[in-house]
A and B are shown apart, each in its own frame.
Chain A
Amino acid sequence: MTLTTDHTRAVADGAHTHGAVKPQGSRAERRTSFSLEDIPIPNGREEEWRFSPADRLQPLFQADLGTSGVTVEVSAAPEVVVETVARDDARLGTAGKPGDRTAVTAWNAFEQATIVTIPKEAVASEVTSVRLTGVSKDATAAHVLVRAERHSEAVVVLDHDGSGTLAETVEIVVEDGAHLTVVSVQDWAAGAVHASSHRARLGRDAKLKHVVVTFGGDVVRVTPDTEFTATGGEVEMVGLYFADTDQHQEHRLFVDHAVPDCKSRVTYKGALQGSGAHTVWVGDVLIRAAAENTDTYELNRNLVLSDGARADSVPNLEIETGEIAGAGHASATGRFDDEQLFYLQARGIPEIEARRLVVRGFFAELIHEIGVPEVEERLLASIEAELEKSMSVITGAPTA
């Protein structure tokens, strides 16, 4: 099944933006603010919450989040500077404003932030790792800022483990000519509830590879926003998720093409197994009137491995200029194919191994796109672990 958006209509709507009514749910109109009053507690019917389990997220909607439920540990490349700063540090809050309730509660509650800076022209010789570990159930706010100064290069991996209730902000600033890779891995233990607002801002000729990997936790909702501020910017957003019984994993992206000559590529893939497994992918791409020569493509694919799992996939492309280099999207959700299984088994391959082959095959290309060997290896291992879980469910199969 492939969904396509009617681009002609999107263009027509954008052709008379002054005073005209925008298409419903336009990202250009979405309220963003640092103030709690501006973004009240949602009732669940709002566009950005309609797929989410609002009841399970309640603790993170509250204004009085604590700060003690999560510990932060950083192991940095020698070229990289790590600081812990107070919330009034002027560098914080420069990568855009909160766009939903959990983003605004996170912003207003954190006391200290972790800033990872890759200094001007530095090339990090190894991966910098930021580990957030959940240590209690107390609803907690955390703030991380990754700054790649002009012409620097680095890979920063954020890990989330343990179990906690976390509203998090990850600010990403990629200055002119810098090349930054940020990987965020949500590998929580059971019970974790996590809402994370990633806000990235790219300068001239800046490149960001943004990778999101979600395996664990009860509810994980990641909302990466990317904004181009000067020409020549390029973002590659890659996501991989694997939801089990009763897990809710939501990824909502927004790419804001506000300036000309920028490029975005979004590729998210997910697998689901077990009853009540629910994944949501929403990809909003806005090409504003000024953003001529934009080149964008987004893709989401889901593989449903067992009954009772549900994948929602909503690509949404809004185009306000006719002068684009390319714009497209694709979305498809398919069930595990019994004919594939039969084919592989008919070649002597046992069912469990055949399923592994198919799922690994589904993710293979995406994993290679990440380009960080240690992350790729860990991912393959996590996928194996997920498959182990599913096999124990599936092996009601005949054994003769």
Chain B
Amino acid sequence: MPTLEIRDLHVSVETKEGPKPILRGVDLTIASGETHAIMGPNGSGKSTLASALAGHPKYTVTSGTATLDGEDLLTMTVDQRARAGLFLAMQYPVEVSGVSVANFLRTAKTAISGEAPKLRTWGKEVKGAMENLRMDPAFAERSVNEGFSGGEKKRHEILQMELFKPRFAILDETDSGLDVDALRVVSEGVNRAKEETDIGILLITHYTRILRYIKPDFVHVFVDGKIAEEGGSELADRLEEEGYDKYLGANKTVSA
């Protein structure tokens, strides 16, 4: 079974003062069909993990490995990783002015599947997926993410996930900034993808409310650049009640 396997991953970010270590030994294995939730305090390195796996140039892997289905992700370019089946729904999707959503989706789909999608069926597919996510068809003609509201950007990310059919998707706070209806619509999108393909999901979130719609098989507590505890979905409820104090306290004594 295909897996996304992360072993003892250490990552630094480039700063003006030189490289600054953020991830300090992350171990995580996600098999196809599994849903893993990552929860953790602000600044603990969750987005860093997501960006480093996707290959953002700002981050340098200083040691450790990450493989997708046995293939080394870390030597691949950003686009090669995406074509290998990795998808990142970003916390802050970027605006690309002058490039229409329709053109963007077609170009990306062509790149990922290695051939242009059949014009007719593709058009229908896009339209249907947009309908499912309650996106106005007019979005197809707008520039990518330009002037989109926070919630619209997130729907657009999930739209891409549904259309590109990746093998593994990392959703970085896709639930943040969504109202109750949007949260449901977006969660339905993720669940559709889970039903239709054997996608493995890494869901980064601060809130358990999304976990009521998308059931995680595993919950990981992320603190200070690594996973501090793992458990089932009951761990999420405990975190919501107790917060991260316990982990932060422990960490402080260690580093003091």
| A binding-site residues for B, Cβ under 8 Å | 337-340, 342-351, 353-354, 357-358, 360-365, 397-400
Contacts and interface: CB of A to CB of B under 8 A. Distances in A.
Given A345-B55, A350-B77, A365-B98, 11 more contacts: A340-B94, A342-B57, A344-B104, A345-B82, A347-B160, A350-B111, A357-B99, A360-B99, A361-B98, A400-B75, A400-B77
Interface residues of B, number: 32
Given A348-B164, A349-B79, A343 B108 contact: no
A338 B80 CA distance: 17
A354 B97 CA distance: 13
Given A337-B94, A361-B98, A400-B80, A346 B54 contact: yes
B77 A398 contact: yes
Interface of B: 54-57, 75-83, 87-88, 90, 93-99, 103-104, 107-108, 111-112, 143, 160, 164
Q: Which 9 A-B pairs have the closest CB atoms?
A: A361-B98, A345-B78, A347-B108, A348-B82, A348-B112, A348-B111, A361-B99, A343-B94, A364-B98
26 contacts: A342-B56, A342-B57, A344-B108, A345-B55, A345-B77, A345-B82, A346-B78, A346-B79, A346-B82, A346-B87, A347-B79, A347-B104, A347-B160, A348-B79, A348-B108, A348-B112, A348-B164, A350-B77, A357-B96, A358-B99, A360-B99, A361-B96, A398-B77, A400-B75, A400-B77, A400-B80
B76 A343 contact: no
Contacts of A349: 79, 107-108, 111
Nearest to A352: B79
A335 to B, nearest CB: 14
Given A347-B112, A347-B160, A340 B77 contact: no
Interface residues of A, dominant DSSP: helix
B119 to A, nearest CB: 19
A354 B143 CA distance: 15
A399 B77 contact: yes
Contacts of A398: 77
Given A342-B57, A398-B77, A363 B111 contact: no
Contacts of B82: 345-348
A366 to B, nearest CB: 9
B115 to A, nearest CB: 13
Contacts of A363: 98
A347 B96 CA distance: 13
Nearest to A362: B98
B97 A357 contact: no
Contacts of B111: 347-350, 353
